Structure 1
Amino acid sequence: MEARHLRYALALAEHQHFGRAAASLGIAQPPLSTQIAALEREVGERLFDRTPRGVFPTAAGNAFLARASSALAEMSLARVEAGRAARGETGRLRLGFIGSALLDPLPGVIGRFRRARPEVRMVLQELDTPTASAALLAGELEVAVGRGSPRGAGAEDLVTVPIGADHLVAVVSSAHPFAGQRSVEAGQLAREPLVVSADAAGSYLRRVFEHDPAALDGAALARDVHTIAGLAACCAGVGLGPNRMRLIARDDIRFCDVEPRFRLPDLQMSFRAADSSPVLAAFLSVVRQNCAEVGSRLDDLLARHPAATGQQPVLGAS
């Protein structure tokens, strides 16, 4: 049984005449009569009464026609939904990210993507860089945003692009002696109680205090930049984090540059090279538009990626 058989039966029920029904369908009357007879044989029931006054559905025909109408509507909807999925208008995107990325650039990226693709379900998780990388490698995320490139088994199958550079700054209470200074030296920081993120304490901050390796011993460990700023405001210690922390609007904290200037590992976005999802392609298109300072690098690195090739969706302005 084919969709055209259902359309033939519905047209015959509407026009109650083989000739008029055939004309509405754009076919000759004999083929229509033949197809309706074949349909009745397949169903095993007489679907229409042929009378001198016209052709009318039987009880079996009415039951069949109700289902036929629903089936055609579902088939039409299925075509529409398939097209929307192919254009990345529906589906799911799971994104893991470190907290500082929510200061910049993720607010613009996520906001723009949600406006452009309101029916894509976004699953957002704040995760430290190692956890987000592991989740991406395990297939539990489509995109991970963290500091540095993912490591571990399968990392060679990922595409990683930089989406933001940053450097280290210190944040202190407005009552702290450093509060009036534009900058503070690493040697001065080594003599202060510190507040840092757990992954930074175990990785790149070791290089900042390579001449004072005990400086990080006993440091308060925070999950994200807002906690670092909050603990600094409480005079729990000098907070260390990315320069984008300056976007945190609080009256009770002050920021100082760290000297010598220490560049942090780039903020990186990673995804699986084999992921050809149209939803991912749409998300990458938004990242391109929102991260202008690295747009050319994104184009270079993603030009041959299956999710980024072909016609990109046209997205509204933010």
Structure 2
Amino acid sequence: MEARHLRYALALAEHQHFGRAAASLGIAQPPLSTQIAALEREIGERLFDRTARGVFPTAAGEAFLARARSALAEMNLARIDAGRAARGETGRLRIGFLGSALLAPLPGVIGRFRRTHPDVRLTLQELDSPAASAALLAGELDVAVGRGSPRGAGAEDLVTVPIGADHLVAVVSTMHPFAGRPSVGVEQLTREPLVVSADAAGTYLRPLFEADAAVLDAATIARDIHTIAGLAACCAGVGLGPARMRLLARDDVWFCDVEPRFRLPDLQMSFRVTDSSPVLAAFLAVVRQNCADVGSWLDELLARHPAATERQPPLGVS
């Protein structure tokens, strides 16, 4: 039994005449009669009464037709669902991210992706950069957003692209002597208690304080930028973090540039080079459209990835 047999039976029940049913199906009457007879032999029951007044379903036919309608509807839904999955409109995407990325650029990226792909199951997990990289390498994430490139066994099998540059700023309470200043020097920071994130203290701030590394060893370790700003507001120390912290809506802190200007490792987005998921392809298209400021290199690198080459528009095309 094939889908066409179901359509033939439904057309015959609707038109109650072999000729009219055949015309609606675009086939000749004899093949339709032959196929209906073959269907009845396969079912083992007479599905239609042939009378002078027309062709009408039997009780067995009515039962069969009810199931046939449901089966064809399910087949159509299966076709639709397959197409949506192939276009990345359904499925799952697991993203691990550094908290500061929620200031920029993730709100634009994730917000747009949710609007354009509402049926994708999006799992979001805040993780520091090392943890996000480890989860991606372990197959527990599809996308990791962190500061700097992932490291460790398997990192060579990842695609990593920059999605945001930033530099270091200091945040203090509005009662602190630094409040009101546009900038503060590194030598001044060495005389203050500091509040930093764990990865900043352990890695990328080390070169800045290489002449006085002890200041980082004594720093208060905060989980994220909100905690850094909060502790600074409590006069617990001078917070150090990315300039995008200025986007925090707080009136009890003051931000100073750090002199000399210190560029932080770029925010990086990483994913597996072998991941050809249509959902990832759809997400990469949104990244392209929202992170164009990182230059054409991002578009060129993503365009070489198997998930992004077939269905996605070029940069800037929605």
Q: TM class, shorter-chain normalised? A: over 0.9
Determine if the alignment matches structure 1 residue 33 to structure 2 residue 33: yes
Q: Distance in 1 between matches of 2:314 and 2:83?
A: 15
Decide which moves more: 241-250 or 44-53.
Answer: 44-53
Following the alignment from structure 2 to structure 1, what is the Cα–Cα distance between the partners of residues 85 and 162?
28
Q: 1:36 offset after TM fit, Å? A: 0.8
Aligned partner of 1:288 in structure 2 is 288
Partner of 2:207, secondary structure, is helix
Conserved in 2, the CA contact under 8 Å of 1:282 and 1:313?
A: no
Deviation at 1:216, TM superposition (A): 1.8
* Partner AA of 1:312 in structure 2: Q
Name the CA shift for 1:311/1:158 in 2 (closer, same or farther; >3 Å).
same
1:317 and 1:302, CA in 2 relative to 1: closer, same or farther beyond 3 A? closer
1:313, distance to aligned residue in structure 2 (A): 5.0
* Residue 157 of structure 2: aligned partner: 157
TM-score (norm 1): 0.95
The answer for unaligned runs of 5 or more in structure 2 is: none
Alpha-carbon shift at residue 293 of structure 1 (Å): 1.4
Cα 1:214–1:298 shift into 2, 3 Å: same
Which residue does 1:310 correspond to in 2? 310
Aligned partners of 2:195 and 2:86: how far apart in 1? 47
CA shift for structure 1 position 316: 10
What SS class does the counterpart of residue 211 from structure 2 fall into?
coil
Matches within 5 A, 1:238-249: 238-249=238-249
After TM superposition, give the deviation of residue 56 of structure 1 in Å.
1.6
Greater shift, 46-55 or 60-69, is seen at 46-55
Q: Is the 8 A contact 1:173 1:233 kept in 2?
A: yes
1:159-195 CA-partner distances (Å, limit 9, x unpaired): 0001111111110000001113222222221221111
Other structure's SS at 2:191 match: coil
CA change 1:146–1:277 in 2 (3 A) is same
**Partner of 2:128 in structure 1?**
128
How far off its partner does 1:144 sit?
0.8
After TM superposition, give the deviation of residue 76 of structure 1 in Å: 1.0
Task: Could you tell me which runs of 5 or more consecutive residues in structure 1 were left unpaired when the two chains were aligned.
Answer: none
* Matching residue's letter, 2:37: A
Deviation at 1:199, TM superposition (A): 1.5
Look up the equivalent residue of 1:113 and give its one-letter code. F
* Match runs of 1:103-252 below 5 Å: 103-252=103-252
Counterpart contact for 1:87–1:313, Cα < 8 Å: no
Alignment match, 2:90: 90
Q: For residues 98-138 of structure 1, what are the alpha-carbon distances to aligned partners after superposition, in whole Å with 9 as ceiling and x for unaligned?
A: 01111111111111222222222211111111111111112
1:306 and 1:137 map into 2 onto residues whose CA distance is: 18
Query: How far, CA to CA, are the matches of 2:27 and 2:315 in structure 1?
Result: 43
Offset of residue 315 of structure 1: 10
The Cα shift of 1:49 comes to 1.9
Measured after TM superposition, the shift of residue 198 of structure 1 is 1.4
More displaced 10-residue stretch of structure 1: 305-314 or 63-72: 305-314
Task: Tell me if the contact between 1:173 and 1:253 (Cα under 8 Å) persists in the aligned partners.
Answer: yes
CA-to-partner distance for each residue in 1:54-95, whole Å, 9 max, x for gaps? 222122111111110011111111111211222222222211
Change (3 A) 1:314 1:56: farther
**Coordinate RMSD, CA, aligned:** 1.8
Overall identity of the aligned pairs, in %: 84
The structural deviation recorded for 1:249 is 1.8
Structure 2 distance, partners of 1:211, 1:305, is 43
Q: Secondary structure at the match of 1:113?
A: helix
Which range is displaced more, 12-21 or 237-246?
Answer: 12-21
Cα deviations by residue, 1:221-248 (Å, 9 ceiling, x for unpaired): 2111111101100111110101111111
Aligned partner letter, 2:304: R
Contact 2:289–2:316 (8 Å) recurs in 1: no
1:55-70 aligned within 5 A: 55-70=55-70
Find the residue that maps to 1:275 and give its secondary structure.
coil
**Secondary structure at the residue paired with 1:171?**
strand
Pick closer, same or farther for the CA change 1:295–1:282 going to 2, 3 Å: farther
